[in-house]
Amino acid sequence: MAALSTQERNGGVESSQCSTMQPMTAKRTSFDGVTIAFHWATLLIVLGLLTTALWHAQSHDDMTKALMLRIHRSLGVSVWTATAFRLVWRMTNAKLPPFPDEMTDIHRMLVKITEYCLYALLIVQPLTGFVATIARGRSFLLFWWHIPPLISHYPTLRAVLLSAHRIGAWTFGILIMAHAVAALIHYFVLRDNVLQRMAPVIGSARSVRKSSLGTRGSQTGSGAPESCDKPRQSRRQGRASERERFWIAPYSDLRLSQSQ
């Protein structure tokens, strides 16, 4: 019995050592919560800007066009303000995770250039639209406020700013599409943690799926490592032999004494 308890203790040590040998899932690094909140809030505002711009261009009703222009103008001021606060946060308290190790230098350079261009458009694009509105020389509505004329009418300046605003809008849309496609490629094709860094919920869902698949594999016997199966089998065999000696050995000695 002492030998049996010793083997059980040894088995517990082996099982603990075996459990430590299991591969640990690396903790996914992500952006801080404030940066993530700024990112998704900016995305929602930009989608609203694109929607109101297209609606304003396609509508033939004057009331609808005026309403869409008012909402578009207000959202432009909102995204400019959010971007300004986001840049201040980025330069002071933001926690930025490193690039994945498998990303090449060229890939990293392209990511940085795209990011800087998006930031520049988030600052410049609302300014061109807002200054073009002021250069009209008339009062306008912003959120719930009525803004009186601020400067005289400058038709040439307004035309140049509106042209720059349209070019910036198309450039912004192309960069957003490229940004979204790249994030999906990282998630579905490259299967790294680039998208999960800005959307930790997606990374948690993927980890849950992997753990559930690992549990099913261990239940069917395919998920258990061979190095951990062998100590279990030896412990079972050792316990069985100890029980046999404990119960069968006295009867064997009795038969031997009777035969003598």
Over the stretch 67-111, which tens digit does the pLDDT of each residue have?
A: 999 999 999 999 999 999 999 999 999 988 888 888 899 999 999
Indicate whether this model's pTM tops 0.85: no
Task: List phi, psi (to 5°) of 145.
Answer: -110, 150
pLDDT at position 203 over 70 = no
Structure confidence at residue 21 (pLDDT): 42
Structure confidence at residue 192 (pLDDT): 84
Name which residue leads in pLDDT, 213 or 29: 29
pLDDT, tens digit, 9 for 90 and up, residues 207-228: 555 555 555 555 555 544 444 4
Structure confidence at residue 224 (pLDDT): 46
Q: How far is CA 26 from the centre of its chain?
A: 15
Q: What is the largest CA-CA distance in the chain?
A: 128
pLDDT at position 191 over 90 = no
Which amino acid does the sequence have at 10? N
* Percent of the chain whose predicted confidence (pLDDT) is above 90: 57
Residue 49 and residue 78: Cα distance in Å, rounded? 10
CA-to-CA separations, 217 to 82, 212, 221, in angstroms, rounded: 47, 9, 6
Structure confidence at residue 32 (pLDDT): 93
Task: List phi, psi (to 5°) of 216.
Answer: -65, -40
As to burial, measured by CB atoms within 10 angstroms (0-12 exposed, 13-18 middle, 19+ buried), residue 53 is: buried
- Start-to-end C-alpha separation, the chain: 29
Nearest CA to 87 among 49, 43, 38? 38
Q: DSSP 3-state assignment of 145?
A: strand
213-241 exposure pattern, b = at least 16 Cβ within 10 A, e = fewer: eeeeeeeeeeeeeeebeebeeebeebeee
Q: What is the CA radius of gyration of the chain?
A: 34
Q: Say how many C-beta atoms besides its own lie within 10 A of residue 46's C-beta.
A: 19
Would you say 217 and 14 are in contact if contact means Cβ atoms under 8 Å apart? no
Query: Chain-wide mean pLDDT for the chain?
Result: 79
CA-to-CA separations, 129 to 62, 116, 125, in angstroms, rounded: 20, 20, 6
Q: DSSP 3-state assignment of 114?
A: helix
pLDDT band at 231 (very low <50, low <70, confident <90, very high): low
Alpha-helical (H) ranges within 29-93 are 33-58, 62-92
pLDDT band at 140 (very low <50, low <70, confident <90, very high): very high
Structure confidence at residue 8 (pLDDT): 46
Q: What is the mean pLDDT of residues 109-128?
A: 96
Contacts of 203 by beta carbon, 8 Å cutoff, 6+ apart:
28, 30, 193, 196
Would you say 94 and 86 are in contact if contact means Cβ atoms under 8 Å apart? no
Structure confidence at residue 119 (pLDDT): 97
Residue 111 and residue 108: Cα distance in Å, rounded? 5
